[in-house]
Homo-oligomer: A and B are copies of this chain.
């Protein structure tokens, strides 16, 4: 149950985030749908690949697919003056997608008895896979790798689940809220991780 809800939230969030990026890049209507769909399902496809579930299991998600299409349509119908006022929505939805998919990826990997390091990697790549594909297709610098705190939160997710700290539904939903909040705080206040420069000078 928790599972499906998290998948659904992540799917909507990433579909919307892809659609917003596509609108920012002035793609046509179909391009908006495509980028939304790819962002929403790219994370799941990479997760399936990484943990040994057939990628074709995606096809069973007919409901999710329709939800994604609906979300994208809703975003497109949204009045422009609201959307532009809220361009940070792109980041916000990305944050929700990150935390829900990171949790879900970590749960999957735990269930398959993968070791802790694998749970963490699964959380990071599931949470950021869709966003990486989105940024690559839109020819942007992948958000994940920018000097902004992003993947740290997915690592936290993976550790919390892999170490058995978050197990029950209530704990997982709390984790979801905490991780989303941390991501929102980190881009709002521009928290940075240290950079190791090669030091030209």
Residues of A participating in the B interface, judged by any CB pair closer than 8 Å:
22-32, 34-35, 37, 45, 49-52, 54-56, 58-59, 62, 65-66, 76, 80-81, 83-84, 87, 109, 112, 114-115, 117-118, 121, 124, 132, 136-139, 141-142, 144-152, 155, 192-200
Contact = CB atoms under 8 A, between A and B. Distances in A.
A37 to B, nearest CB: 7
Q: Helix, strand, loop or mixed for chain A's interface?
A: helix
Contacts of A195: 26-29
Given A28-B193, A30-B149, A31-B144, 12 more contacts: A22-B145, A28-B146, A29-B194, A30-B150, A30-B151, A30-B152, A62-B117, A62-B118, A65-B121, A80-B198, A84-B199, A132-B137
Nearest to A199: B80
A137 B147 contact: no
19 contacts: A22-B145, A23-B198, A28-B192, A28-B193, A29-B194, A29-B195, A30-B151, A34-B124, A34-B145, A37-B121, A45-B49, A45-B50, A49-B55, A66-B117, A80-B197, A80-B199, A81-B199, A84-B200, A136-B137
